[in-house]
Structure 1
Amino acid sequence: MAIWKGVFPAVTTKLTHDGKVDLKATQNSIERLISNGVGGIIVLPMLGENASMSLQERESIIRAAVEVAAGRVPVLSGLAEITLEAAKKNALLYKQFGAQGLMVFPSLGYKTDHRETVEWYKGIASATDLPIMIYNNPIAYGVDCTPAILKDLAGTPEIVCIKEETGDIRRATDMYVEFGDRFSIFCGVDDLIVESSALGVTGWVSGMTNVWPAECVELFNLCAQERFSEARELYHILTPSFHLDVHVKLVQYIKLAEHLVYGAPEWTRAPRLSLVGQEREYVISTVCKAMESLAARK
């Protein structure tokens, strides 16, 4: 079974001004990420506007990502559904499209309890032999895969990794104490990566890596080498921008940041709208300040 580690950017899906999927721009961004040393990529995450995409669009995005990755890094796909039947069906389809792993959301339509959450993930794991990363973001989705739930999933070999996004820095240690190395633990929020690395996480699902891949890979590697004094210097520059990753409008914020840094299209699909007014100016000023500091650092 796969052992994932390193920086896995949650890739934004590039769109045209009228909301159509821009596969060429998406592939260009993936090439940029891989060329800068990421350990894997995840298409169709929350940042990829998964829930707003048709199945045909999802297929085209997965196939395009696999094509450009060309085996250099694993390509995972987000799997975000309402019913278990749909989740199992699409898990199998995504494998046929070329995905090498799945980042599985809880049900988008219902807040499952302990028993239901266990059955949700076991059911999806039974549909395909693809390795699974559990997307644990109770702040956004209201379902927390606690250590007690993970204990009931530990016997499911397809579940190999947890994207830890509770915001509780103690959770990583609690999981290591309970499970040892049974699961790979990935930090799931940008503004906790140094803290999480100090506790031993082996991967990072990152939003702002879309914007600054080289710098985010450098930051992760400094932490992995326990060069924390150097890591903190870079972290202090990037953290104000990393805070954009934990806002409800992270898709708009990160796409605008990508546009500012390397000219990628910032467009989103309704109901998300492009940023305007003071909110837009805040994102621009935050990102531009980081750009200036990074340029001065070189």
Structure 2
Amino acid sequence: MTNWNGVFPAVTTKMSPDGRVDMEATRKSVERLVDAGVNGIVMLPMLGENASLNDTEREHVLRGAAEAIAGRVPMLSGLAAITTEQAQSLARSMKSWGAEGFMAFPSLGYKTDARETVAWYRAIAGATDLPLMIYNNPIAYGVDVTPDVLEQLADVPEIVCIKEESGDVRRVTDIFNALGERFAVFCGVDDQVLESVALGATGWVSGMTNAWPRECVALFDLCSEGRFSQARDLYRILTPAFHLDTHVKLVQYIKLAEHLVYGAPEWTRAPRLPLSGVEREHVTAVVEAASAALAARA
């Protein structure tokens, strides 16, 4: 039985200045995360520029990450496609490349209604025997997997979890009220993690954990243990940086944070461009303030 819980960073795919995948840097970042105590890894999320890669690159990333993880924690792959047939084919391929589960996006090419959304996730779940996390981000993708939709998927055993990123933390309670413990609920946005865990979420797919993995694991553990006074102190330090995870440029922001914190390459694939000017200064100031506060707290 799948028992995903804890901190699952959504790993950035490291690039060279000319936009090629830097697998050595990606592997090092994965090893750093696992060594810091995360509970799982999500490769090729939206934060990992999934839609910008071709299948050869996706295979390279998954196989390399699987080698670096070496079975120490579960490795999920983001699964993003336009058509149902493409999604099913990609799921089968990703399983052969080492994925142990999926974080499945809605269709990238069409905003499905509720009936179509149910059919989409049923079809993907049936493509392999691997467990699946639904990626619910209606703000970005215009498709909302509501409790009503989840109820229609409750009989699909491969679907075990939902990454809840609707922006409304009340949704966590609504899911539990409608479905009990049928699905694990993961917080899907960094600046709602304390609130989500307080309401019963048992996992966190996190962006800024790429920069501060030990601190984010410590924060999640404090919340899970009900030690909210201590958790709030740490959360307040990190929340300004966590807000960066909700911006349309979160890929650039989080890669810059990694670069500032531990020297990882910040490069992205066009049309994303490196940050510059006032925007770069703002992100740098937020990250450096968090790093200084964390150092003073240590």
TM-score range, shorter chain: over 0.9
Letter in 2 for 1:171: R
Aligned to 2:194: 194
Q: For residues 126 and 194 of structure 1, what CA distance do their matches in structure 2 show? A: 34
CA distance in 2, matches of 1:203, 1:233: 20
* 1:33 shift after superposition: 0.3
1:3 positional shift: 1.2
Residue 174 of structure 1: aligned partner: 174
Q: Distance in 1 between matches of 2:103 and 2:109?
A: 17
Note the residue ranges of structure 1 that are not aligned, 5 or more in a row: none
Q: Residue 273 of structure 1 corresponds to which residue in structure 2?
A: 273
- Amino acid of the structure 2 residue aligned with 1:46: M
SS of 1:261 mapped into structure 2: helix
Alignment partner of 1:77: what SS? strand
Superposed displacement of residue 198, structure 1 = 0.5
Number of the residue aligned with 1:247: 247
Identity over aligned pairs, percent: 67
> What residue number does 2:293 align with?
293
Normalised by the length of structure 1, the TM-score is 1.00
1:39-65 CA distances to partner (integer Å, 9 max, x unpaired)?
Answer: 000000000000000000000000011
- Aligned residue type for 2:140: A
Note the C-alpha offset of 1:148. Answer: 0.6
Counterpart residue identity of residue 242, structure 2: F
Find out whether 1:127 has 2:127 as its counterpart. Answer: yes
CA distance in 1, matches of 2:53, 2:152: 32
Distance (whole Å) between structure 2 residues aligned to residue 125 and residue 29 of structure 1? 29
Structure-2 separation of matches of 1:100 and 1:126:
15
Q: Does 1:40 align with 2:40?
A: yes
Q: How do 1:101-140 residues align onto structure 2 when only pairs under 5 Å count?
A: 101-140=101-140
- Give RMSD over aligned pairs: 0.4
Letter in 2 for 1:141: Y
Number of equivalences? 298
- Corresponding position of 1:49: 49
Alignment of 1:1-298 (within 5 A): 1-298=1-298
Partners in 1 of 2:72 and 2:26 — Cα distance? 17
Counterpart AA for 1:36: A
List per-residue Cα deviations over 1:158-196 (Å, max 9, x = no partner). Answer: 000000000101100011111111100000000000000
- Residues 272-297 of structure 1 show CA distances to partners (whole Å, capped at 9, x for unaligned) of 00000000000000000011101110
Letter in 1 for 2:101: G
For 1:200 and 1:115, locate their aligned partners in 2 and report how far apart those are by CA, in whole Å.
28
Unaligned runs of 5+ in 2: none
Give the letter for the 1:267 counterpart: W
* 3-state SS, counterpart of residue 47 of structure 1: helix
